[in-house]
Amino acid sequence: MQDETMAIAAEYNSEAEAEIGKSKLDSVGIWSTIRNEYMSTLYPVGTMPAQLVVRADEVEKARRILKKTK
């Protein structure tokens, strides 16, 4: 994945919320990873959100899935 351009699909106030989003994307075959997962637990809510990132060519699809399953 190093050569792929990554984009933020969603931001969450906690690592747990980001893990749920990641699980939803995994279930439909979209690769994702969580950025800032540890920092989001150290800083106050909203200061350093956990970011769910995907390949740029799949970001719109990922956002639709995450929005639909809220």
Query: What residues contact residue 45 under an 8 Å CB cut-off, 6+ apart?
Result: 13, 14
pLDDT tens digit string along 24-68? 999 999 999 998 865 555 555 556 788 999 999 999 999 999 998
Which pLDDT does position 36 carry in this prediction? Answer: 81
Please provide the DSSP assignment of the chain as one string: -TTS-EEEEEEESSHHHHHHHHHHHHHTT--EEEESTTHHHHSPTTTS-EEEEEEGGGHHHHHHHHHHT-
Q: CATH fold of 6-68, please?
A: Alpha-Beta Plaits (3.30.70)
- Domain layout of the chain by residue ranges: 6-68
Which pLDDT does position 13 carry in this prediction? Answer: 86
